[in-house]
Amino acid sequence: MKLLSLIVKILLAIIMLLPGGFAAGQVAVTSGGAGSISGTGGANNQGSAATGLGCAGGGGGYWGGNGGNGKYGGGGGGASGYGSSWHGGTGGQGVVVIAYYNGASFVSSVVLVAGTSVSVGTGITQAKVWAIGAGGGGAGATSSDSDSGGGGAAGGVAYISKDVSSGNTISYSLGAGGAYGSGANNGSSGGNTTITIAGTTITGNGGGGGYFNSNANATGGSYSGGDGGSTGGAGKGSTGDEGGGGGGGIGGVIGGTQTSAGGAGANAGDVSGLFSACASASMAVPPVVSSFTPTSGSTGTSVIITGTGFSGVTSVSFGGTAAASYVVNSGTQISAVVGVGTIGSVSVSNVYGTGSLAGFTFVGNNNHILGLGTQQIITASGSPVDWIVPAGTTSIQVIAIGGGGSGGAAYWAGGGGGGGALAYKTKLSVTPGYPAQFMPEGVVQELQLTPVVRVRAVKAAI
């Protein structure tokens, strides 16, 4: 039985490492950004940004400087005035952490910084989730050396453990980080993060924004629902000829006190095993498409797509139409083959979201663009000719005109030889971006309007 249990654990770990699962890694939980030293008068003596989850940005030095940014729930640092107008640090966005178990055995964990839902994997029987609210932004400071800004507060943390089954959905909403204040303005509060799992919703509320030139501390975010949680750490207030206040960290850790140097951004505090989950967690992000080449092509064209987050890719499309095939070469490159294709964006999706980049043109084989109100006559020979229906087109007029002799449209209409005759005329609805294709077929034409209409025709757009 012990050997069987060991085999099950190994298989579960392998499953979670497959594309679409969670690769093992580590998400840092330290540390907060340092407050800037006094530095040079009138220069940007900027506080450092946080580097760990739930940690806060440092305050600017008292000779004038911006506050540092918080990270994933941590508050932004406050600015310090002198020589120019300065801004505080941005609050860290909300985040979701999930630890998966098979019975009492830990399987894997993941940190979600994008998307709206995930599905529970095979063999998972329990999940513990943490909802971390976004941090508040730090306050600004003016060109005067007699004012400074306070740090933003951290978001609250709620957690819960629930029994789950394979295929269950865990849905969530991530709070946006609080905007910094600039000049004589307070920072903004961070947004709330919610998680719904097995019918229960928990919330980590966003932390408050820092105050301009005030000794009042920004209020940490609260929490609700679930098994418990922690209020976010307060952002340190600051006033007068001092450095900016340090931002607050999750787990109730208050921002550092300023002197002539900015206050240090707080480190995160552990909340019910959160640090342990982060120690083996992967960071789950949606794809980002940064470029593709070539930027146009027909069916069968191979396109190289570059970007980030190409792990667990579930689909690739051109203008909303699925690629004929694709191969993920690495986490930053995909080789895809154009299918039917349409004009529009190149998109890459995984279970965490979709990344898109506009600018792809499907040219088809012997493609032409038929403008509104123009007419194109097709001869009876040659290769297939495609038209991309232009923007603004809602229908096309289709006309078939017979040639001489015993063939042509006269034959199609039931007539005999002789001169050409009007055989067919109709109006067909079309969708901009989809190809209308003429296929030479003897002395008449066959129009295939993707995906369902087939007639013999010569067409004019109206």
Residue 69 is predicted with a pLDDT of 98
In this predicted structure, which of 50-64, 179-193, 281-295, 339-353 has the lowest mean pLDDT?
339-353
**Residue 278 pLDDT greater than 80, yes or no:** yes
Are 219 and 153 in contact by the 8 Å Cβ rule? The answer is yes
In this predicted structure, which of 29-33, 380-384, 453-457 has the lowest mean pLDDT?
453-457
Length of the chain: 462
Please state whether the peptide bond connecting residue 48 to the residue before it is cis, i.e. omega within 30 degrees of 0: no
Two structure tokens written together for 430: 């079309």
| Mean predicted lDDT score pLDDT of the chain | 79
Two structure tokens written together for 210: 């820092």
**Residue 127 pLDDT greater than 60, yes or no:** yes
The fraction of the chain above a pLDDT of 90, given in percent, is: 57
Residue 164 exposure: Cα atoms within 13 Å on the Cβ side? 29
pLDDT tens per residue across span 15-67: 333 333 333 346 888 899 999 998 888 789 999 999 999 999 999 999 999 99
pLDDT tens per residue across span 393-425: 555 554 444 333 333 333 233 333 333 333 334
pLDDT tens per residue across span 365-375: 443 444 444 44
Q: Which residues touch 458 (CB under 8 Å, ≥6 apart)? A: 376, 377, 378, 398, 399, 400, 401, 445
| pLDDT band for position 100 (cuts 50, 70, 90) | very high
Are 23 and 17 in contact by the 8 Å Cβ rule? The answer is yes
pLDDT tens per residue across span 163-184: 999 989 999 999 999 999 999 9
pTM: 0.68
Question: What average pLDDT score do residues 271-294 get?
Answer: 91
- From the list 374, 215, 277, the residue with the least C-alpha distance to 22 is 277
Show the domains of the chain with their CATH numbers: 1-284 (no CATH), 288-362 (2.60.40.10), 385-461 (no CATH)
